[in-house]
C-alpha cells in the first residue's frame, strides 16, 4: 500500500494517471517480489477497486494490471531470470542488470498507450499533488524501498549471491513487518512457512519434470535438428531471435513461463552459441517474450 501511494502521487495527476500508477507501482514492487503471480495479486487487489470507482471498466482495469505485470517480469529480481541463469550458465547479476532498460522502455510504451486511451475514453486528469504530499508519500515508503536496495545493491555489487540476498530480504521484511509496522503477527508465521514450502515444492517439481523432458529432447537430437533448420533460414541471428520470441510468446500463453523456458531453453542454447548470439541478450529477449505470452489469453491472471 505504501509503494502504491508513492506511485499514485508521482503520476496520478496525469490524464490516465491512475492506470500509470499501476505501471509505476508494478515496476517498484516487482523489484521486491520477483514473482509475477505475487505482483498481480498485490497490485490487482490494491489498484483495481479505485480504478473502477474512477470510471474504468473491469476489462480495462484487468488489462492494465496484466500488461504492467508482463512488463514487471523484466525488473530484477526475477525468478525466471535466476532459472535461466542456471540453465544457460549465465551470470545472474548480468541478467538482472540487463533487465532494467527493456523494462523502462516497455513501461513507457504502456503509459503512452494509457494516456491515449484515457484521452479517447474521456477520463479526466486528477488534481495536481503538492510537494508536501510527494514528500510524505516518499517518507512513508522509504522503509519498503529498502528491500530492493538490499537485493540490487548486494547482487549487483557482488557482495552476496541471489540466495543470500533473498535471505537478507526475508529477514528485513520479517523485522519490519513484525516489529516496525506490526502488520505480521506471530500466529501468522506457521501459515507463511507452510505456504512458502508448498510453493517451493511446486517449483522443484516443475524443474525436475522439465529436466526430464529436456533430456529426452537431447537424446532425440532435437537441438541438432533445430540448428540445421535455423541455418537454412535466411536472415541469420535476427530471424532466429524473432522466431524464438514468437515461440515463447505462444507457449507462454498456454503454459506457465517457467516450465516452457526450462523445457525449451536447453534445446535452443547450442543454436544460440553456434550463431554467436550473446547469451545475456538472448536470455533477456526470452524473459520479455515469456512475459508477453503470460499476458495473452488464455490468461490465468485475468481470470483471477
* 68-91 per-position pLDDT tens digit: 888 888 888 788 888 888 888 888
pLDDT value of position 298? 67
Each residue's pLDDT, cut to its tens digit, for the chain (304 residues) gives 788 888 888 887 788 888 888 898 888 887 676 677 777 777 888 888 888 887 788 888 888 888 888 888 888 878 888 888 888 888 888 888 898 899 999 999 999 998 888 888 777 667 677 888 888 888 888 888 888 888 878 877 778 887 888 888 889 988 998 898 888 889 998 998 998 888 788 878 877 777 787 778 778 877 667 667 766 777 778 888 888 888 888 877 777 677 778 777 877 887 888 888 899 999 999 999 988 887 777 654 544 4
* Predicted structure pTM score: 0.78
Give the Cα separation of 143 and 147 in Å (integer): 8
**Residue boundaries of the structural domains of the chain:** 2-187, 188-301
Name the nearest CA neighbour of 31 among 99, 109, 131, 114: 99
What is the pLDDT, as a whole number, of residue 108? Answer: 93
Alpha carbons 290 and 130: distance in angstroms, whole number: 39
Q: Which of 64, 60, 74 is nearest to 27 (CA)?
A: 74
Measure the CA–CA gap between 26 and 67, rounded to whole angstroms. 10
Q: What is the pLDDT of residue 94?
A: 87
CA-CA distance, 244 to 258, in Å (whole number)?
Answer: 16
Please give the Cα distance from 250 to 87 (Å, whole number): 21
Q: Which of 138, 121, 73 is nearest to 99 (CA)?
A: 73
* Separation of alpha carbons 293 and 238, rounded Å: 20
Q: Please state, in angstroms and rounded to a whole number, the distance separating the CA atoms of residues 139 and 135.
A: 6
Amino acid at each position: 500500500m505504501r509503494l502504491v501511494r508513492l506511485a499514485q502521487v508521482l503520476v496520478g495527476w496525469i490524464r490516465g494517471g491512475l492506470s500509470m500508477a499501476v505501471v509505476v507501482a508494478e515496476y517498484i514492487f516487482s523489484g521486491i517480489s520477483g514473482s509475477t503471480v505475487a505482483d498481480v495479486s498485490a497490485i490487482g487487489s490494491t489498484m483495481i477497486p479505485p480504478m473502477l470507482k474512477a470510471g474504468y471498466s473491469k476489462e480495462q482495469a484487468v488489462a492494465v494490471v496484466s500488461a504492467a505485470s508482463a512488463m514487471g517480469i523484466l525488473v530484477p529480481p526475477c525468478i525466471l531470470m535466476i532459472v535461466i541463469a542456471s540453465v544457460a550458465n549465465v551470470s545472474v547479476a548480468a541478467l538482472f542488470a540487463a533487465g532494467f532498460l527493456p523494462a523502462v522502455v516497455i513501461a513507457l510504451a504502456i503509459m503512452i498507450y494509457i494516456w491515449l486511451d484515457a484521452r479517447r475514453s474521456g477520463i479526466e486528469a486528477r488534481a495536481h499533488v503538492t510537494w508536501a504530499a510527494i514528500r510524505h508519500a516518499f517518507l512513508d515508503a522509504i522503509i519498503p524501498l529498502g528491500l530492493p536496495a538490499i537485493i540490487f545493491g548486494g547482487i549487483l555489487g557482488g557482495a552476496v549471491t541471489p540466495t543470500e540476498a533473498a535471505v537478507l530480504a526475508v529477514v528485513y521484511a520479517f523485522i519490519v513487518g513484525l516489529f516496525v509496522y506490526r502488520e505480521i503477527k506471530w500466529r501468522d508465521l506457521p501459515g507463511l512457512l507452510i505456504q512458502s514450502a508448498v510453493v517451493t515444492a511446486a517449483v522443484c517439481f516443475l524443474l525436475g519434470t522439465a529436466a526430464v523432458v529436456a533430456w529426452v529432447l537431447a537424446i532425440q537430437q532435437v537441438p541438432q535438428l533445430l540448428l540445421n533448420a535455423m541455418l537454412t533460414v535466411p536472415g541469420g541471428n535476427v530471424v532466429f531471435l524473432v522466431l524464438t520470441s514468437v515461440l515463447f510468446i505462444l507457449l507462454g500463453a498456454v503454459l506457465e513461463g517457467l516450465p516452457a523456458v526450462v523445457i525449451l531453453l536447453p534445446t535452443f542454447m547450442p543454436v544460440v552459441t553456434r550463431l554467436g548470439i550473446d547469451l545475456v541478450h538472448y536470455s533477456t529477449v526470452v524473459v520479455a517474450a515469456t512475459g508477453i505470452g503470460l499476458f495473452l489469453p488464455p490468461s490465468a491472471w485475468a481470470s483471477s
